[in-house]
Homo-oligomer: A and B are copies of this chain.
Amino acid sequence: MIIDCHGHYTTEPKDLHRFRKDQTEAVKNKTALPPRSGLKMSDDEIRASIEGAQLKLQRERGTDLTIFSPRASGMGHHIGDFAVSQEWTQICNDLIHRVCTLFPKNFIGVCQLPQTQGQAPTSSIKELERCVKELGFVGCNLNPDPSGGYFNAPPLTDKWWYPFYEKMVELDVPAMIHVSGCCNPAQHTTGSYYLNADTMAFMQLILSDLFKDFPTLKLIIPHGGGAVPFHWGRFRGIALDNKRPELAQIMGQNVFFDTCVYHQPGIDLLTKVVPVDNILFASEMVGAVKGIDPKTGNYFDDTRRYVDNAPALSAADKQKIFEGNALKVYPRLKDAMAKAKVHA
Residue ranges of A at the interface with B (Cβ–Cβ < 8 Å): 144-145, 149-155, 184-188, 190-192, 195-196, 199-200, 202-204, 206-207, 223-224, 226-227, 229-238, 240-241, 261-263, 265-266, 268-270, 272-273, 288-291, 293-294, 300-301
Do residues A203 and B199 form an inter-chain contact, with CB atoms below 8 A?
A: no
Minimum CB–CB distance from A226 to chain B (whole Å) comes to 6
Which 8 A-B pairs have CB atoms at the shortest separation, nearest pair first?
A: A233-B263, A233-B262, A237-B289, A230-B230, A227-B227, A196-B196, A237-B300, A192-B203
Do residues A234 and B191 form an inter-chain contact, with CB atoms below 8 A?
A: yes
The distance in angstroms between the C-alpha atoms of A199 and B191, with both chains bound, is: 8
Minimum CB–CB distance from A145 to chain B (whole Å) comes to 8
The distance in angstroms between the C-alpha atoms of A273 and B265, with both chains bound, is: 8
Do residues B263 and A236 form an inter-chain contact, with CB atoms below 8 A?
A: yes
A270 to B, closest residue via Cβ: B230
The distance in angstroms between the C-alpha atoms of A9 and B77, with both chains bound, is: 42
The distance in angstroms between the C-alpha atoms of A192 and B237, with both chains bound, is: 13
Q: Which B residues lie within 8 Å of A237 (CB)?
A: 262, 288-291, 293, 300-301
Minimum CB–CB distance from A200 to chain B (whole Å) comes to 4
A273 to B, closest residue via Cβ: B265
Minimum CB–CB distance from A251 to chain B (whole Å) comes to 15
Q: Which B residues lie within 8 Å of A154 (CB)?
A: 185-186
Q: A186-B152, A241-B290, A269-B266 are in contact. Are A199 and B200 (CB under 8 A)?
A: no
Interface core residue of A144, A186, A204, A224 (most chain B CB under 10 Å): A186
9 sampled A-B residue pairs with Cβ under 8 A: A145-B186, A152-B186, A191-B207, A191-B235, A192-B203, A223-B234, A224-B231, A234-B262, A240-B291
The distance in angstroms between the C-alpha atoms of A226 and B198, with both chains bound, is: 12
Q: Which B residues lie within 8 Å of A266 (CB)?
A: 230-233, 269
Q: Which B residues lie within 8 Å of A265 (CB)?
A: 232, 269, 272-273
Do residues B199 and A192 form an inter-chain contact, with CB atoms below 8 A?
A: yes
Q: Which B residues lie within 8 Å of A145 (CB)?
A: 186
Interface core residue of A195, A234, A293 (most chain B CB under 10 Å): A234
The distance in angstroms between the C-alpha atoms of A262 and B231, with both chains bound, is: 6
The distance in angstroms between the C-alpha atoms of A191 and B225, with both chains bound, is: 13
Minimum CB–CB distance from A221 to chain B (whole Å) comes to 12
Among B203, B204, B261, point to the contact of A234 (Cβ < 8 A). Answer: B261
A196 to B, closest residue via Cβ: B196
Do residues B238 and A231 form an inter-chain contact, with CB atoms below 8 A?
A: no
Do residues A300 and B224 form an inter-chain contact, with CB atoms below 8 A?
A: no
Among B184, B186, B261, B291, point to the contact of A231 (Cβ < 8 A). Answer: B261
Do residues A288 and B234 form an inter-chain contact, with CB atoms below 8 A?
A: yes
Minimum CB–CB distance from A182 to chain B (whole Å) comes to 10
The distance in angstroms between the C-alpha atoms of A273 and B184, with both chains bound, is: 29
Among B207, B227, B293, point to the contact of A236 (Cβ < 8 A). Answer: B293
Q: Which B residues lie within 8 Å of A152 (CB)?
A: 150, 184, 186
